[in-house]
Amino acid sequence: MKIGLQTPVLMTRAVARFLTFSVAAVVALSWAGVVPAEEQLHPVLAERGVHFQTEGKEIPVAEDGIHDPNNPAVEVLQPPVEAMAGFPRDSAGIVDWVKALDSGIINPRMGLTGDEVMTAVDFDVIFKNTGSMPYVRYPHRPHTIWLTCSNCHPKIFIPKKGSNPVTMSAIMRGQYCGVCHGKVAFPPNLNCGRCHSVPRDTNLRR
Ligand code: HEC
Ligand code: HEC
Ligand code: HEC
């Protein structure tokens, strides 16, 4: 449990969401793609807030599950729908932050002072324990243009191919890729194909 000003709010929301999402059938249906995208949140992800301002959706800052709705600042923050109008979107209608960065629409500072330098590396790791799903391409470049190596290595991932027992349920519980995906990066439940992007018949050495 996080301790802080937002705790009572988070608890209320957690309880509300628990009630909304605890029905197992909803979860089962959502995985089958029957329930509309907005309700497709895994209970674990749902507790983290509904802040993926997908295309056509307008989630006020006070209702995004991240900001404290009792803080007057929510009245003055620019609405995301306005701030992100015209931003590139992925096939699920989620803002494509990698494209936004590459195209110069956003230009975040590299660190607190602005003098820091990022060292991006450009190589992929293919995960092949994907059942009947396409393989997963983990690309270093779009991560290391704004994350340093120590954001992931060695705490989240031992930097050695195949050394991390990553599973989809662990990701959904917020581990491995799920430390960020579903929190600050596109959520694992809304666009499978952005990670599972390599056809299984591809002849690849892992
Ligand atoms: C967003 C998370 C993340 C960041 C940031 C990151 N990596 Fe990785 N790295 C991974 C993952 C995932 C793997 C694959 C692990 C596996 O196969 O289980 C990996 C694997 C590696 C490997 C092993 C490759 C092999 O063939 O065994 C090296 C080396 C590596 N990373 C170096 C780096 C360096 C250098 C940086 C910083 C410039 C960096 N990584 C940043 C996630 C990350
Ligand atoms: C953020 C990236 C990401 C997204 C998005 C994602 N997956 Fe995965 N998935 C993975 C990784 C990584 C693995 C582990 C592969 C390995 O260990 O070789 C995995 C494994 C799996 C597996 C293999 C069995 C298991 O439980 O590990 C299945 C099935 C699967 N994913 C289904 C899905 C479905 C369905 C979706 C969309 C609802 C999805 N994935 C979205 C990254 C992702
Ligand atoms: C430390 C945080 C972090 C971790 C851990 C992490 N990612 Fe990401 N990932 C990001 C961020 C930030 C972005 C860019 C924002 C976005 O696209 O939502 C991103 C983007 C991506 C993209 C889009 C790349 C593109 O060019 O559009 C893929 C694919 C991806 N991640 C796969 C993975 C997989 C697979 C794993 C686990 C093996 C993983 N990520 C682990 C933070 C992370």
Ligand 2 center from residue 102 Cα (angstroms): 26
79 and 6 in a common domain? yes
**pTM as predicted:** 0.85
134 and 80 in a common domain? no
Per-residue pLDDT at 54: 87
Per-residue pLDDT at 57: 85
Which residue's CA is the nearest one to ligand 2's atom 26? 168
- As a three-state string, the secondary structure of the chain is CCCCCCHHHHHHHHHHHHHHHCCHHHHHHHHCCCCCHHHCCCHHHHCCCCCCCCCCCCCCHHHCCCCCCCCCHHHHCCCHHHHCCCCCECCCCCECHHHHHHCCCCCCCCCCCCCCCCCCCCCEEEECCCCCCCEEEEECHHHHCCCCHHHCCCCCCCCCCCCCCCCHHHHHCCCHHHHCECCCECCCCCCHHHHCCECCCCCCCC
Which residue's CA is the nearest one to ligand 3's atom 2? 180
Per-residue pLDDT at 165: 97
| C-beta separation of 65 from 13 below 8 A | yes
Q: What is the CATH number of the domain that holds 176?
A: 3.90.10.10
Which residue's CA is the nearest one to ligand 1's atom 23? 160
Per-residue pLDDT at 143: 97
187 and 109 in a common domain? yes
Per-residue pLDDT at 12: 37
110 and 195 in a common domain? yes
Residues 6+ apart with CB under 8 A from 57: 38, 81
Per-residue pLDDT at 158: 98
Place of tokens 């391409």: 137
Per-residue pLDDT at 114: 84
Q: Which domain holds residue 53?
A: 1-85
Per-residue pLDDT at 42: 65
Task: Out of 67, 85, 103, pick the residue that ends a domain.
Answer: 85
135 and 49 in a common domain? no
Q: What angle do CA 199, 202, 203 make, to 5 degrees?
A: 160
Per-residue pLDDT at 46: 65
Is 60 part of any domain?
A: yes
166 and 105 in a common domain? yes
Per-residue pLDDT at 110: 87
184 and 105 in a common domain? yes
Residues 6+ apart with CB under 8 A from 137: 124, 125, 126, 195, 197, 198
Per-residue pLDDT at 157: 98
Is 90 part of any domain?
A: no
Per-residue pLDDT at 45: 65
- Give the mean pLDDT per block of 10 residues along the chain (206 residues): 36 35 35 44 64 83 85 91 93 94 93 89 97 97 95 97 96 93 89 96 69
Task: Out of 43, 62, 85, pick the residue that ends a domain.
Answer: 85
Ligand found nearest the CA of 205? 1
123 and 43 in a common domain? no
